[in-house]
Amino acid sequence: MKHIFIIGARGYHAKYGGWETFVSKLVDNYHDPNTKFYISELSKKPKTEYKINDNLQVKPIYVKGEIGQMLFCTIKSLNYYLKYIKEKEIKNAYIYILGLKLGPFLKINKKKIKKLGIKTIVNPDGLEYKRSKWNFLVKSFFLISESWMLKNCDLIICDALGIKKYINNKYPKLKNKTTYIAYGTEKIHVNIEEEKEVLEEYNLVKKDYLLIIGRFVPENNYELIIKSYMRSNCQKKLIIVSNISMTNYYQELVENTNCLSNSNIIFIDGIYDEKKLSIVRKNAYAYLHGHSVGGTNPSLLEALSLTDLNILYDVEFNRDVGLNSCLYFKNENELIKILNQIDFYDYQKLGQECRKIIKNNFTWDIIVKKYKKIFK
């Protein structure tokens, strides 16, 4: 029996972001009776460990307050699972750490981890120190933590080719333990009646709106996209689906763009029903992806599997996925030009290219097979 302990996400099926999507999809598609997953879960109340099924159990990690909650959750998760593995005398154990928060703690526990025979795997995600929400001290911590984590683990899994290239260039001695496995996606099938109901629920008209879906943070370039849209001649609505209520960024964005003066710009505070979200994606005329930091984003893969016309912020991570099937912009003027010509692109042809990319590279079947070679 293989035992895989995953820490660094907010939990299994948590309604938040990319890590949580990855965890749930990896586990749900793994289908191996000889593999057991253990997922740590951020909890704001003391809770006991619970089992989802024979191959999955979840450990709630209680963290007080809001500041640094994921850092403390990840630290406590590592400590808990090291103790758990020792007490249960578990063999063939893997600890899969998502993100780069644990550098000092991985270094401190290196001898203990080795003694217990645990293999440690790190997924660095994107370039965390570049995120605008962090101040200088936090960014400096992530740079140090990045180095210690990558040097003190057994394997580095990069979810984007750009991240692998960055690590190989910065840490050439680590090339032999660095590999690339992206996220996956799956197409959800819906019928006409379901589509009609969802579109009516959100007051949407098929192919009459542009769509943005993603965490509500500055590095996803919401301000750039909204300003470009307001300066363009595009008559289609701009629908923004995000975790608006969970951030202070919304008010700042409204003040900087005066976007509420435009009745065609509509905010939806999160859609966590997978089928509903797929319907909203499928019926959009175009998807706008402003993510500038990070690896292969699940939201981008889902867009390529469902939306015909995809317009991406021009960074290496996005081009590695979208290739020639998407349109790209670096600034407001480039995006305005695209939006002004939005009705003249061969979106059906581009959509077919998007689906080929997903089919050949990013299905969960493909991704899980790669992970099974790691957890052998």
Look at 6-20, 28-42, 58-72, 207-221 and tell me which has the smallest mean pLDDT: 6-20
Domains of the chain: 2-185+363-374 (3.40.50.2000), 192-361 (3.40.50.2000)
Confidence of residue 245 (pLDDT cuts 50, 70, 90): confident
Q: What type of residue sits at position 294?
A: G
Contact between 222 and 253 under an 8 Å Cβ cutoff? The reply is yes
- Within 8 A by CB and 6+ apart from 319, the residues are 312, 328
pLDDT of residue 70: 87
Q: What residue spans of the chain are helical by DSSP H? A: 18-28, 69-88, 103-108, 110-115, 136-151, 161-170, 192-201, 222-231, 249-257, 274-282, 298-306, 316-322, 332-340, 347-361, 364-374
251 pLDDT higher than 80: yes
211 pLDDT higher than 80: yes
- Within 8 A by CB and 6+ apart from 89, the residues are none
Q: What does the pLDDT average to over 22-38?
A: 95
- Chain CA centroid to CA 344, Å: 31
Token readout for 101 is 């928060």
What's the DSSP call for residue 10? Answer: S
Contact between 2 and 375 under an 8 Å Cβ cutoff? The reply is yes
pLDDT in tens, 63-74: 987 778 888 999
Confidence of residue 38 (pLDDT cuts 50, 70, 90): very high
**In terms of Cα–Cα distance, which of 111, 49, 113, 54 is closest to 78?**
113
- Within 8 A by CB and 6+ apart from 1, the residues are 34, 35, 36, 92
Q: pTM of whole model > 0.85? A: yes
Confidence of residue 216 (pLDDT cuts 50, 70, 90): confident
pLDDT of residue 133: 62
Q: Specify the DSSP element, H or E, that contains 3.
A: strand 2-7
> What CA–CA distance (Å, rounded) separates 288 from 290?
6
Cβ neighbour number for residue 292 with a 10 Å cutoff: 21
**In terms of Cα–Cα distance, which of 7, 292, 296 is closest to 125?**
296
Question: Is the sign of the CA dihedral 22, 25, 26, 28 positive or negative?
Answer: positive
Contact between 280 and 252 under an 8 Å Cβ cutoff? The reply is no
3-state secondary structure of 349: helix
C-alpha distances in angstroms, 107 versus 81, 87, 110, 152?
Answer: 16, 22, 5, 6
Contact between 218 and 293 under an 8 Å Cβ cutoff? The reply is no
pLDDT in tens, 288-344: 999 988 777 888 999 999 999 999 999 988 999 999 999 999 999 999 999 999 999
Average pLDDT, the chain: 92
